[in-house]
Amino acid sequence: MQKILVGLKRVVDYNVRIRVKEDGSGVVTDGVKMSINPFDEIALEEALRIRERGDASEVIVVSIGEEDCQQQLRTGLAMGADRAILVQTDQPVDPLAAARTLLKLIEKEQPELVILGKQAIDDDCNQTGQMLAALWDRPQATFASQLELNGQQAKVTREVDAGLEVIEVDLPAVVTTDLRLNEPRYVKLPDIMKAKKKPLETLELSALIDDAAPYCAIGEHAAPPQRSRGVMVNNASELVDALRDKGLVN
């Protein structure tokens, strides 16, 4: 296999307590720690392992978004990716725009495998991989917890509601990662230094796709209602009384 393309979305770090902006127009990102979407780190780790086994020659990381996505791409390069592509835009990028953009890069780079996260933890859409496979007219194996390559085929164990499902897909294909696929490596300081010299190409989103306007308008963001304090009860009958007081049981 020649190339693997991996999507890295820049998202608010999963340890950050999300705050909604006062005007409800979105969540606060100023001064907030941003990271690679955790499922995308898993996608990159898997691509690196495939290359290290000798089953691929190049791993390319791609991020679509604002200029600051360079930080996440540099982290991807420090993890071990060979080169990076930033598709730059200041506008929000929804799954369909991301999939259409990735398709353009696929046409240019001709990868045999595209690995994405099963979902981005900011919008929890879980759509981009599926849309990309449809637009590319290639197979998809989503929610992967194991991936084996055999020549022109991939055997993928998928995490589904009923347990595990094993499917075989012809390559090229889109695989999206689930949490148990692997544990991503830590970046070491010398790798961060080395990553500064690796190629990072920047393209304008408008040069790849013409209409990137979101197809879905978000009306308002609101924080969940504050939870009231819990009540300690000493036994089951006090619990039943407390529930009855609240009108939750008769």
Q: Which residues bind ligand AMP (CB under 6 A)?
A: 7-9, 37, 39-40, 43, 62-65, 93, 95, 98, 116-117, 119-120, 123, 125-129
Nearer to ligand AMP, 92 or 185 (CB): 92
| Alpha-carbon distances, residue 164 vs 54, 142, 156 (angstroms) | 27, 12, 10
Residue 69 CB, nearest distance to ligand AMP (Å)? 7
Nearer to ligand AMP, 184 or 242 (CB): 184
Report CA 47 to chain centroid distance, whole Å. 14
Q: Which residue is nearest to ligand AMP (CB)?
A: 117
What are the residue ranges of helices labelled H in the chain? 38-52, 69-79, 95-109, 128-136, 189-195, 205-208, 236-245
Residue 107 CB, nearest distance to ligand AMP (Å)? 17
Nearer to ligand AMP, 117 or 139 (CB): 117
Residue 222 CB, nearest distance to ligand AMP (Å)? 21
Residue 60 CB, nearest distance to ligand AMP (Å)? 12
Nearer to ligand AMP, 73 or 78 (CB): 73
Nearer to ligand AMP, 37 or 140 (CB): 37
Residue 200 CB, nearest distance to ligand AMP (Å)? 14
Nearer to ligand AMP, 29 or 63 (CB): 63
Residue 145 CB, nearest distance to ligand AMP (Å)? 15
Residue 225 CB, nearest distance to ligand AMP (Å)? 26
Nearer to ligand AMP, 121 or 242 (CB): 121
Upstream peptide bond of 172 is cis (omega within 30 degrees of 0) = yes
